Structure 1
Amino acid sequence: MTYEEALKKIESLLRFGSKPGLDRVQKLLSLLGNPQDKLKFIHVAGTNGKGSTCALVASVLKKSQYKTGLFISPFVTDFCERMQINGEMIGHEELSALVEKIFPLVEQMAANGEIITEFELITALAMEWFAQEQCDVVVLEVGLGGRLDATNVISTPLVSVITSISLDHTAILGDTLAKIAYEKCGIIKDNGVTVCYPGQNPEALAVIRSTAEERKNRLVIADTDSVEVLSMNISGTGLEYRGLLVSLPFIGEHQIKNAVTALAVIEELKKMGYHIADHSIEAGFSSASFPARMEVLSADPLIVLDGAHNPDGTAALAGAVKKYLGNKKIIAIAGMLADKDVSGAVGNFTGLFSRVFTLAPNSPRALDAKALAEKFQSIGANAEPTENADAALAKALSLLNADSALLICGSLYLAGDIRPRVLELLHTK
């Protein structure tokens, strides 16, 4: 089976959509011999900050010489980003071999009326690969919610992590923070340890506390007082943590909280006997990478890419833009999905952009470019719809100079499509 054929097999399950529930994925994994039972996990749920927290923890474990799996979603540029070991994504041939092995089981289940979804298959592929490769630890990011997410087939993890909770996917997870927190807290298993993001909304925190207590978990609330911010600029953040000088390559106030959450997880692992030296924390943080999160694609001209797609995410992004790019005229390329809180997300950009070029991301859920332009116009922005990424880039780059910056934002789907184009354009200059 070729890589292209493997991807087609995976994507063929897209039409079955998202169907909450663990029975199907548990059945599929049992047919594989339950590879998840051979692994140890750090399980991470939340609305925002999951990816950054996962990237930091995985990077520190790698630098500590542990064979570290990382499961994330969605990917930005290459599907294989979704499953990595020690920072290297699964090879195309390896993925193809796994699909060839597992897809007949999916078809066998389908014949019995048990329809596996795309995300369930991807989860099973990752579990099988991590087990085959005998990972010491797997940092496992939840796909959606937590309680009924396919990743929740695991038993009690080393640490359950709840990052920042806000309103998102309300049609599926509920329309209050308490309801959403309930779903996220589904990853908290009996007799474990739970690490919680600092400054969590009180409504969400109350649910986290009660769930941890009910399931006999020791709850650790990450403490921002454990770090001192030494420097913050467009290139990253310098922190002091218990005498260590830590360089965080991510920027924004919210990333400091994600870093503190990751550090709290590391401390819990050390208590369990994991050997994580100070130099591994320093090296792990400085080498962590996470595309499309206030990522500087170019310093001259200044081009920044960010995948924030809900109101909390765009609020953090807007704050970072004001802080680090306040002296620049901001030109934006924006694309969003129609099933997000577009008005809430766009509203955070009021007064921020001198020009906005909108387009529809490469997704069946994309919001039309004209409709998004109208959303920006409603907040007083000079917004113009464009046909595609190439057209938007051409228009935006023609306006870019030493006094301005280009911000590409609104969706990880947009980021995945446009990131390689920008890098190629810069490389050919």
Structure 2
Amino acid sequence: MTSSTTRPTSDALLADMMLLHPKLIDLSLGRVERLLAKLGHPEKKLPPVVHIAGTNGKGSVTAYLRAFAEAAGKRVHVYTSPHLVRFHERISLAGDDGKSHPIDEDLLVDVLTRVQAVNDGEDITQFEITTAAAFLAFSERPADVLLLEVGLGGRLDATNVIAEPALTVITPISMDHAEKLGPTLAKIAFEKSGILKRGVPGIISQQTDDVLTVLESRSRAIHAPLTVWGRDYDAYEQAGRLIVQQNDRLLDLPLPALIGRHQITNAGTAVAAALTLGERIPSLAIDEGALEAGLRSVEWPARMQRLTSGPLADILGDETELWLDGGHNPAAGDMLADTLATLDEKSPKPVYLIVGMMGQKDALGFLAPFRGLVRAIYTVPIPGANEAPHSEENLAEVARGAGMQAADRKNVIDALQTIAGLSKGPKRVLICGSLYLAGYVLLLHKGLE
């Protein structure tokens, strides 16, 4: 445990909090509700909340909404997970400069210390107690809106203590975390539908028919009005522009700065959410100029992020492109393969993957879409992962079983050096398969590891 005679670091406090519950994830609302009550209910003292769930795209939609709101001059708090490099990234607070910034160390230590004292050693997961700490920080700092991303699922996620959000958003749902949420798409959709609230508008992104059936059934049961992709709004690329149509309104906008055809869906969903939020709360209205500015300025690390100058890119040389993405489930594999295919149409280059994955992920489902698209896959371990990853040897065997050339390497740098030593000429390299791996790569890229 941390010493009572010295000021603890956030790392030490977070390590202590890992010991409060035997499981990393144990979906329940009771423990966090108990702690929030002891804290004086900070979750009831927040700015208007946009609650965002989904399997893929929820981080990107959050990033778009943040960019739109800040371009419109709004003060924005943001809660996301997991972090890539530092835990502080999860709790972003509206700053005096009009931008949201990760919580600083002093304030993080302050709120963690306070929730730890109030919790008094009672059983609670780290995510639950740190979510309570985030609500405490958000409740004590002014902002116009809080963008609240679900951690896992929705119905029993610690963020779902918000009784009356201003808006809910559900991004595309696919198979992931089946061991926690259920073995079928319908069961996963039911868990995520748990963020819908009576009388609160819900923005539903592109979904399969069976998922939409579950979401609409839940919305009817609780009288939550839905705005549904393909029925109430749509988005598509036309002549190098993003076209968003919602009811009788047609917007002609720039393409988003984030790469990939799936970002058309994410950006369109975020635009529909922004328009609906403005209708519900006029003070949060976002005009077309702010939408345009947000689409151009949006940033979201490890989502088809191009890594240029730096120690990793230098291994490959100037001619070779290096990309990073945290995608880790079959739907993400489909999206990434489509993005690589699109890049190849515009500028053909031999493609290589460097992949590390957590052990509970569907490795075959993620890798299969790359068959016929990549020259080789190099599999690597994931340093510092909270849970057991696939071994690099097993992952390479899975890739070979899927009909692709694959070999394991001891680390990312070894894999990059292998690729650099192949035939001369420009190449395209994508590091993917895990947000934990992506965070480690960003540390390497910044020279911090």
> What is the one-letter code of the residue matched to 1:397?
A
Partner of 1:87: 100
1:59–1:87 CA contact under 8 A, matched in 2: no
CA deviation map 1:170-222 (0-9, x unaligned): 12211211111110000011111110003x10000001111111111111013
C-alpha distance in structure 1 between counterparts of 2:151 and 2:320, whole Å: 35
Aligned to 1:320: 339
State the Cα distance separating 1:66 from its structure 2 match.
Answer: 1.8
- Conserved 8 A contact 1:244-1:278: no
Match of 1:16 among 23, 32, 36: 23
In structure 2, do the counterparts of structure 1 residues 422 and 393 end up closer, same or farther at CA, with 3 Å as the change threshold? farther
With normalisation by structure 2, the TM-score equals 0.87
2:361 corresponds in structure 1 to 340
In the other structure, the counterpart of 2:273 is 265
Superposition pairs of residues 29-428 of structure 1, within 5 angstroms: 29-39=36-46, 40-85=48-93, 86-106=99-119, 108-110=120-122, 115-198=123-206, 200-223=207-230, 225-231=234-240, 238-241=241-244, 242-272=250-280, 273=282, 274-298=284-308, 300-326=319-345, 327-362=348-383, 363=385, 364-399=387-422, 402-424=425-447
Which residues of structure 2 form unaligned runs of 5+?
Answer: 1-7, 94-98, 245-249, 309-317
SS in 2 for 1:374: helix
- The one-letter amino acid paired with 1:387 is K
Work out whether residues 18 and 125 of structure 2, in 8 Å CA contact, stay in contact via their aligned partners in 1: no
Deviations 1:38-82 (A, max 9, x none): 122101111111100111011211222221111111111221111
Q: How far is 1:109 from its partner?
A: 4.9
**Aligned-pair Cα RMSD in Å:** 1.9
Segments of 5+ residues of structure 1 without an aligned counterpart are 232-237
CA distance in 1, matches of 2:421, 2:86: 29
One-letter amino acid matched to 2:63: A
Hey, what's the Cα distance between the residues in 1 that align with 2:435 and 2:159? 21
In structure 2, relative to structure 1, the CA distance for the partners of 1:315 and 1:130 (3 Å cut) is same
Residues of 1 paired with 2:81 and 2:302: CA distance? Answer: 13
Deviation digits for residues 276-331 of structure 1 (CA, Å, limit 9, x no counterpart): 12221111222111111111112853101111101011011111111113411012
Residues 243 and 193 from structure 1, CA distance in 2 versus in 1: closer, same or farther, beyond 3 angstroms? closer
State the one-letter code of the partner of 2:328: H
Q: How far does residue 389 in structure 1 lie from its aligned partner after superposition?
A: 2.5
Match of 2:311 in 1: none
User: Could you state the TM-score of these two structures normalised by the residue count of structure 1?
Assistant: 0.91
1:6-46 C-alpha deviation (Å, 9 max, x unpaired) = 33334444743211110100111111111111122101111
For 1:317, give the aligned amino acid. Answer: L
CA 1:297–1:14 in structure 2 vs 1: closer, same or farther (change >3 Å)? farther
SS at structure 2 position matched to 1:16: coil
- Does the aligned pair in 2 maintain the 1:16–1:117 contact within 8 Å? yes
Query: In structure 1, how many angstroms separate the alpha carbons of the residues matched to 2:319 and 2:78?
Result: 32
> Per-residue CA shift, 1:111-146, capped at 9, x if unaligned?
xxxx11011012111111111112221111111110
* Equivalent pair of 1:42/1:139 in contact (CA under 8 Å): yes
How far, CA to CA, are the matches of 2:104 and 2:425 in structure 1? 40
How far apart are 1:226 and its partner, in Å?
Answer: 4.6
